[in-house]
C-alpha cells in the first residue's frame, strides 16, 4: 500500500498534464464539430457518395458525421492514440525508473518480495488509467453537451470509454512487459514508442487499403470498431485476444523481473 501511494504521488503531475491535454483535445474536436454541424444534413449525403477506402482515409467510415455521436466516434481514433501513448509510457516507466534513478537498491532491499513491488506498481498504473478515463469521460460529457443540440449521447460515450480503458490497460501491460526486458528506461520508452507508432501506422494503412486487413490482429487500434462499440457490443474474439496479450505480458513481467539482476 505504501508503494501504491508513493507511486500515485510521484505520477500525479504527469497525470494532470495528460488529463488536461485530453480535455483540450476533446474541446478541439467539438469546436471542429460545430463547423460541420453548420453545414447540416446535406453533408452526410455527400459523404456517402465517397468510395469506402476514401472514407476510411478521412477517418469517417460507417459513421454519421453530422450527428454528434458519429462525429465523436470519428474523434475516438485520436483518443485512442493519446490514451495508449499515456498508458504505454506509464507501463514502460513505472518499474524501470527505480533502476534509472538508482533507487532500486533502496526499494528492493526492503522486506518485500519483487512480485509485491510489481503488484503495487501495476495497481498504481491501473488507478492512474482509471482517473485518466474518468476525466476523459467527464470532459466528453461536458464538451459534447456544450455543442450538442440533439439527444444526449452519454451512453455511447460510456461505451467508448470502456473500450478506451481496455485498450489502455492492454498498452500499459505491453509497456511493463517491454520494460522488464530492457535494462534501462531510455531503451524501454524507445521500444514502446516504436511499437506504438508502428501499430498506429499499421491501423492507418489498413484503413486505406482493406486487402491487408489480416494485419488487424497485430494492432490493438483495430480491436475495437468504433461504430460497433458505440452500439454497446464488443467483439468477443478481440476481447479474448486482448485478454490473452494482457495476461501474457503481465505474466512475463512478473517472471522476468523476479529472475533478473538489478543494474544500477
Partner 1 sequence: MNIYIQELKMSVKSLIYWTFGMLLALMFFMLLFPAISQDAALMNQLISKFPPELTRALGLTTLDLSMALGFYGYLFLFILLIGSVYAMKSGMSVLSEEIRAKTADFLLSKPISRNTIVTAKIMSVLSLLVLQTVFYIIGAFIVVNLTTNQLFDRTTFLLINLSLLLVQLFFAALGLLLSVIVRKIKTVLPIALGIVFGFYVLQMLNQSLTDSNLAYITPFAYFDISKIVATGAYESNYLIINTFMILGFTILTYIIYNKKDMPSI
Partner 2 sequence: MNVIEIINLCKFYGKSRGIIDVSFNVEEGEVFGFIGPNGAGKSTTIRTLLSLIYPTSGSAKIFGMDCIKEGREIRQHIGYLPSEVFYYDNMKVIDLLKYSASFYLNSDKNRIYELAAIMDLDLNRKIDDLSYGNKKKVGIVQGLLHRPKLIILDEPTGGLDPLMQNRFFDLIHEEKEKGTTVLFSSHILSEVQKICTRVGIIKEGKMIRVEDIKTLEHTNYKKFKIEMKEAIPAEYFNINGISNLDVKEKAATFIFNGDINKIVEKLYERKVSNLIVEEPSLEEIFLHYYDKEA
| Residues that bind partner 2 in the complex, under the rule CB under 8 A | 2, 6, 10, 101-106, 108-113, 116, 259-262, 264
CA dist., res. 57 & res. 237, Å (int): 25
**Cβ pair 143, 149 in contact under 8 A:** no
Closer Cβ to partner 2, 149 or 259, answer by number? 259
Q: Reduce the DSSP state of residue 257 to 3 states and report it.
A: helix
Q: Is 51 in the site for partner 1 (CB under 8 A)?
A: yes
**Cβ pair 64, 70 in contact under 8 A:** yes
Nearest Cα residue to 128 out of 240, 34, 13, 238: 13
Nearest Cα residue to 192 out of 95, 87, 78: 87
Closer Cβ to partner 1, 2 or 49, answer by number? 49
Binding residues for partner 1, how many (CB under 8 A)?
48
Side-chain-side CA neighbours of residue 24 (13 Å): 7
CA dist., res. 187 & res. 66, Å (int): 44
Single out the segment in contact with partner 1 by CB under 8 A; choices: 74-82, 115-123, 142-150, 159-167.
74-82
Nearest Cα residue to 55 out of 41, 38, 42, 70: 70
Q: Is 49 in the site for partner 1 (CB under 8 A)?
A: yes
Q: Is 14 in the site for partner 1 (CB under 8 A)?
A: yes
For 77-226, strand residue ranges (E) read: none
**The binder of partner 1 chosen from 4, 6, 77, 100 (CB under 8 A):** 100
- Give the one entry of partner 2, partner 1, none that residue 261 binds, where binding means its C-beta sits below a cut-off of 5 to 8 angstroms depending on kind: partner 2
Closer Cβ to partner 1, 5 or 212, answer by number? 212
- The three cell numbers of residue 53 are 477506402
Closer Cβ to partner 1, 154 or 193, answer by number? 193
CA dist., res. 51 & res. 197, Å (int): 27
Closer Cβ to partner 1, 23 or 162, answer by number? 23
Task: Write down the least CB distance from residue 177 to partner 1, Å.
Answer: 17
Q: Is 263 in the site for partner 1 (CB under 8 A)?
A: no
**Cβ pair 164, 136 in contact under 8 A:** yes
Please report, as ranges, the residues that interact with partner 1 according to CB under 8 A. Answer: 14, 17-18, 21, 24-25, 28-29, 31-32, 35-36, 38-39, 43, 46, 49-51, 53-54, 57-58, 60, 65, 78, 81-82, 85, 89, 93, 97, 100-101, 185-186, 189-190, 193-194, 197, 201, 204-205, 208-209, 211-212
Amino acid at each position: 500500500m505504501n508503494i501504491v501511494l508513493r507511486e500515485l504521488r510521484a505520477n500525479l503531475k504527469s497525470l494532470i498534464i495528460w488529463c488536461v491535454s485530453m480535455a483540450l483535445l476533446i474541446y478541439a474536436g467539438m469546436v471542429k464539430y460545430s463547423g460541420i454541424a453548420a453545414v447540416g444534413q446535406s453533408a452526410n449525403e455527400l459523404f456517402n457518395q465517397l468510395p469506402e477506402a476514401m472514407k476510411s482515409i478521412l477517418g469517417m467510415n460507417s459513421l454519421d458525421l453530422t450527428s454528434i455521436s458519429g462525429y465523436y466516434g470519428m474523434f475516438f481514433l485520436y483518443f485512442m492514440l493519446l490514451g495508449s501513448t499515456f498508458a504505454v509510457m506509464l507501463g514502460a516507466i513505472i518499474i524501470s525508473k527505480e533502476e534509472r534513478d538508482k533507487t532500486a537498491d533502496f526499494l528492493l532491499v526492503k522486506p518485500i518480495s519483487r512480485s509485491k513491488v510489481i503488484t503495487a506498481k501495476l495497481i498504481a498504473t491501473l488507478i492512474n488509467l482509471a482517473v485518466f478515463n474518468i476525466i476523459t469521460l467527464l470532459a466528453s460529457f461536458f464538451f459534447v453537451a456544450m455543442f450538442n443540440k440533439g439527444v444526449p449521447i452519454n451512453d455511447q460515450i460510456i461505451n467508448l470509454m470502456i473500450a478506451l480503458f481496455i485498450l489502455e490497460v492492454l498498452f500499459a501491460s505491453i509497456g511493463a512487459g517491454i520494460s522488464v526486458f530492457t535494462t534501462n528506461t531510455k531503451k524501454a520508452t524507445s521500444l514502446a514508442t516504436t511499437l506504438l507508432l508502428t501499430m498506429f501506422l499499421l491501423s492507418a494503412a489498413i484503413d486505406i487499403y482493406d486487402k491487408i486487413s489480416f494485419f488487424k490482429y497485430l494492432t490493438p487500434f483495430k480491436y475495437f470498431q468504433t461504430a460497433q462499440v458505440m452500439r454497446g457490443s464488443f467483439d468477443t474474439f478481440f476481447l479474448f485476444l486482448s485478454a490473452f496479450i494482457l495476461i501474457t505480458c503481465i505474466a512475463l513481467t512478473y517472471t522476468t523481473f523476479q529472475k533478473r539482476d538489478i543494474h544500477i
